[in-house]
Structure 1
Amino acid sequence: ELKMIFQFEHMSLDKGPNLTYQRPKLADLKVVFERWQTGLNGKAWNALYWDNHDRPRAVSKYGDDSTPFYLEKSAKMLA
């Protein structure tokens, strides 16, 4: 019996029309995480992760890594 879930819904929030990139919205990310966390509450362990070696880092995807200042602020926001 499996008790751990890896969901990938949040990984596709950056897909635009015709598989183009669109900057994901933080509000959409919150909706996805909230739905999975509450939906699995008491039923399974939802393994949370931000990214992997095949995808951009979360700070680049959801934040601003254009300068060291904004990189630090974005990383702290996501922590």
Structure 2
Amino acid sequence: MAVKIVFLGPLRDMAGAESQEVEAPLDWAGLLATVGDEVAAQLSEERVNIACAGRVLADKSALQAKDGDEVALLPPVSGG
């Protein structure tokens, strides 16, 4: 059973992939251990959000993804 991690924007370039599937369940510590040091450092920044199953998490460290969930890593959006 799996959770799909989707890397968006510059996080995709850092990860070197658009997505990655990992074994479910997936929590915050597991996510940080899975995505590599560079992406994990970005995820620790307040300006980067995480969505699980279509909902942006108010507290990233509360991540509890289960089988079939998609976890989207959302970099900050800049306008202009």
TM-score interval w.r.t. the shorter chain? under 0.3
TM-score normalized by the length of structure 1 = 0.27
Of Structure 1 and Structure 2, which has the larger fraction of its residues in strand? 2
Of Structure 1 and Structure 2, which has the larger fraction of its residues in helix? 1
Question: Highest CA radius of gyration, 1 or 2?
Answer: 1
